[in-house]
Structure 1
């Protein structure tokens, strides 16, 4: 890598150095590869057939091994949470069919198969068919909890669909007879193993529903291998249980055995005996419960009687019975008190209404048009009086002012000067005051204003004199 680097040109090496931040780390590259695996649906839900090698069962319960064929191999791991349900012990060299998903172990950067189910190759085709049918029915919703029906509390007739010769039917009948002998058991014998078993079981379920006499159905058989229990994995049986209007208890095999009938049934029982226990109550427990309820009822009734007796005694000893007139007199006294209170309340209310009426009358008088006109007339009189007084004051002030102005005018009047022997000369036409000898010419007509009249005169001559201040 170093030699290849120096074979680059200077510009190329500079470009690589400048773009180092864009080069992913090992962890980033590993995560990209892991995401490629996890985003591929075919690698997240896959079946693989191969031979076990390098098998190691860790102390923590995990199983590490290699799955191989003549040409290739892949590392695999099955965690303890998944392998605890295996019905066999994997061994070196065993050929198996496994289910799981492929991913990358980040620490080593290696891809491996994470297994969640494993079957011996001899049962592989049968197991694959079972898984495919289970997924199909699950997609259709046959296993949904919404379809589950509750079991009756006190069934009259318990229907049993199983082999008449097996141990399962004996266990069911014995358990029902012991726990709830008042219930009847209706057995519909069927074939539980072999080619005709699925149709036999499905037909029995339909017949029980058509009969209409059964309150709850137990469908099952004793334990066995996968092939022996296969009838209860057939689609015809699963659909018959789903279509049943009678609640169905599935009781196939032992506790570790699981069939499709267990998923579709309303209730799954671990064993046929457990199915019988679920189908009917225990009569001893019912009797004990009835006794408990009866005792509780008796105690409740006795307590009610005691309480009633005490109440009766209290009533009998009350003054209502011992002195009935006393209570009547008390009621009369109460009535008298109520009458007094009522009378007092009415009087108080009447007084309040009278006061309110007086207040309203006073307010009405105040807002009456007549009273309002009187008040306005009085206000008008006051206003006229004030206006007259103010007008007199103004006139008096103006008269005083006029007299002062007359005095001043008289002091400045030319007539007042004339009284002392002076006169004023005016031109004849326009009566302009003659201030200088230059304002007239010889032979002009002039008017002379004296104290008591006018003189019409003619200028015979002019004589101009010089004044001391230089003015004409």
Structure 2
């Protein structure tokens, strides 16, 4: 009996697996567990059901094309081939296709990315910008072929003929489309500023519209300093760009209606304003004419002196009042003066002399006491009707009032 090495046996078994047609291309349903993706991009996980489990590997070339993020506990259908990993001597499924069971991969990927970006605040209403009322230049990010550009052009020029439309042509589906759309949005923000952006394409399948769900496009629209109108697909189609844009349009034609005002409508509005202005001006003029007519019919208009008659009467009354006040003040002042004169008259020393009193002076000074003079002094005595000179013969003071 031949003795074989472990490697020989493992390689033999691996060859058996690889040459078995049923194991080279099969689909397996199971629950994902122990899912892990390494920095290399390769993903390793286990598929299991109630009775068994199977190790799986999905290399980066396939894993990077996944539209959704596999999670533990998720029911999936995996496609690929079964082979043996020689180092461990264990068979495993080399996955080239993976899709969630039930909901489609795109639908799941859409929900996962929507929830994640919403949690970051990319869809917050507070971040959205108002659209300009009268834009002069509109940037358009779409394909140069197809009806979208024609619809936007026709509606915009019909509504607002003076607006300038600038197209940045991009792929709207397939490989590289998302990057081109994101670069076009950045181009208008950094190198060719416009007043508003329309980002969109015509209708299609979920796969056709997927470029407008890519994270790079959503973040480019979120970072845009220029207001963005999304116009992707038809009214029933929804993409993540619709959530992050400042205004969502159901169709490209509606996007053009949102972007520019209607010149005909503006003309009608201005005509209405002009009619209201003319009517208001006519009412003011009629009111002024009626008021002027009323004023002209008043008496003082024919006799202007009536205008100043009340003022003249007020002047006469004021003059009479001033004269009366001045007279009263003069009488009061004269009365006060007479009272003062009477008081002064009562204090006049000459009147005292008429009552029998006299003034004795010695050397020009009045003598009020006996002790101020001595016998032999010469004094002057003033009476009411004249003066005399005398010599003091004797000076004697009274004692105790006697």
Matches within 5 A, 1:97-176: 121=101, 124-176=104-156
CA distance in 1, matches of 2:215, 2:324: 94
Structure 2: distance between partners of 1:122 and 1:222: 28
Q: C-alpha offsets along residues 265-312 of structure 1, whole Å, 9 cap, x if unaligned? A: 000111111111111111211111111111111112222222222233
Whether 1:263 aligns to 2:243 is yes
Residue 174 (structure 2) pairs with residue 194 (structure 1): yes
Contact 1:162 1:189 in 2 (8 A): yes
Secondary structure of the corresponding residue to residue 249 of structure 1: strand
**Match among 312, 324, 349 for residue 304 of structure 2:** 324
Alignment equivalent of 1:180, drawn from 160, 163, 170 = 160
**Other structure's SS at 2:286 match:** helix
Note closer, same or farther for the CA distance 1:176–1:342 as it changes in structure 2 (3 Å cut): farther
**5+ residue gaps, structure 2:** 1-28, 31-47, 52-74, 77-98, 328-402
1:251 to 217, 225, 231: 231
Q: What corresponds to 1:281 in structure 2?
A: 261
Write the distance in 2 (CA, Å) between the matches of 1:346 and 1:263: 92
Distance 1:324 1:245, change over 3 A: same
Residue 398 of structure 1: aligned partner: none
User: Which structure's residues are more often helix, by fraction?
Assistant: 1
Equivalent in the alignment of 2:216: 236
> Using a 3 Å threshold, how does the CA distance of structure 1 residues 282 and 346 change in structure 2: closer, same or farther?
farther
Contact preservation (8 Å) 1:319, 1:327:
no
Q: 1:312 aligns with which of 292, 295, 301?
A: 292
Q: For residue 139 of structure 1, report the CA deviation from its aligned partner.
A: 1.3
2:34 is aligned to none
Deviations 1:223-257 (A, max 9, x none): 11111111111111111111111111011111111
Describe the superposition over 1:54-109 as per-residue Cα deviations: whole angstroms up to 9, x where unpaired: xxxxxxxxxxxxxxx9869xxxxxxxxxxxxxxxxxxxxxxx98xxxxxxxxxxxx
Higher RCO (C-alpha under 8 Å, 6+ residues apart): 2
Instruction: State the distance in 1 between where 2:186 and 2:107 align.
Output: 28
Confirm or deny: 8 A CA contact 1:194 1:231 kept in the other structure.
yes
Distance in 2, matches of 1:271 and 1:289, equals: 26
Equivalent-residue separation in structure 2 for 1:162 and 1:343 (angstroms): 98
| C-alpha RMSD over aligned residues | 3.3
Task: Tell me how many residue pairs correspond in the alignment.
Answer: 240
Q: Measure the CA separation in 2 of the matches of 1:272 and 1:124.
A: 28
User: What CA distance in whole angstroms lies between the structure 1 residues aligned with 2:229 and 2:151?
Assistant: 15
What is the CA–CA distance in structure 1 between the aligned matches of 2:192 and 2:139, rounded to whole Å? 11
Q: Which deviations, in whole Å up to 9, do the C-alpha atoms of 1:134-157 show, x marking residues without a partner? A: 122111111101111111111111
Aligned counterparts of 2:123 and 2:226: Cα–Cα separation in 1: 16
Whole-Å separation in 1 of the counterparts to 2:171 and 2:269: 40
Q: 1:172 to 1:314 in 2, by over 3 A?
A: same
Kindly indicate whether the alpha-carbon contact (under 8 Å) linking 1:249 and 1:265 is maintained by their aligned counterparts in 2: yes
CA distance change for structure 1 residues 257 and 320 in 2, over 3 Å: closer, same or farther?
same
Q: SS at the partner of 2:104?
A: helix
Return the alpha-carbon distance in structure 2 between the equivalents of residues 323 and 240 of structure 1: 82
Q: Is the 8 A contact 1:202 1:236 kept in 2?
A: yes
Aligned equivalents of 1:318 and 1:164: distance in 2? 78
Q: 1:189 to 1:317 in 2, by over 3 A?
A: same
Q: 2:252 aligns with which of 254, 257, 272?
A: 272
What secondary structure sits across from 1:150 in the alignment? coil
Over residues 383-414 of structure 1, what are the superposed CA-to-partner deviations in whole Å (9 max), with x where a residue is unaligned? xxxxxxxxxxxxxxxxxxxxxxxxxxxxxxxx
What secondary structure sits across from 2:261 in the alignment? coil
Structure 2 partner of 1:105: none
CA contact (8 A) 1:158 1:215 kept: yes
Distance 1:333 1:166, change over 3 A: same
